[in-house]
Structure 1
Amino acid sequence: MKTKIKQYRAAKGLTQQELANLVQVRRETIVFLEKGKYNPSLKLGVLISRVLDVPIEELFDIDD
């Protein structure tokens, strides 16, 4: 799965650790999400989209 989490996170000026803290996961989870090596739960996807203030459809490309 491709994601745009890295781009939106950087635009918000957040580090991986800061985003992880805000959504209550480990930094490694954010790393794997940004690399497309982890499919998040719906709850985590929604939390990330809210923190980044981006519609969830913008963050994740589910066609892959």
Structure 2
Amino acid sequence: METSLTPEQQADLQTFGRRLAEIRKARGWSQERLALESGLARSYLGGIERGQRNVALLNILKLARTLECDPGELFRT
């Protein structure tokens, strides 16, 4: 996990990652399929879902397009 983050920021990353995994699984997709469809590495996606990666805005948009959801859906709890 990124060491320069506050506990609140770490919790935010974990919440985002859980939501991403929830949406992915609701579509019946594996991390591997999301990686192939989005062009992002599976290990990177795993890090996002575990709350270990601070995902860039462009990658959030790429994930939302790939999952055919509004980017805001990835932030809802």
Both proteins in one fold, TM over 0.5:
yes
User: Can you list the C-alpha shifts for 1:43-62, whole angstroms capped at 9, x where unaligned?
Assistant: 1100111111222122136x
Distance in 1 of aligned mates of 2:68 and 2:38: 13
Distance in 1 of aligned mates of 2:55 and 2:75: 10
- Name the residue aligned to 1:17: 32
Deviation at 1:22, TM superposition (A): 1.2
- Name the residue aligned to 1:34: 49
Which of residues 39, 57, 61 is equivalent to 2:72?
57
Range moving further from structure 2, 7-16 or 49-58? 49-58
Aligned residues: 61
Q: TM-score, normalised by structure 2?
A: 0.70
Q: Percent identity?
A: 26
Gaps spanning 5+ residues in structure 1: where? none
- Aligned residue identity for 1:30: L
| Bigger proportion of residues as strand | 1
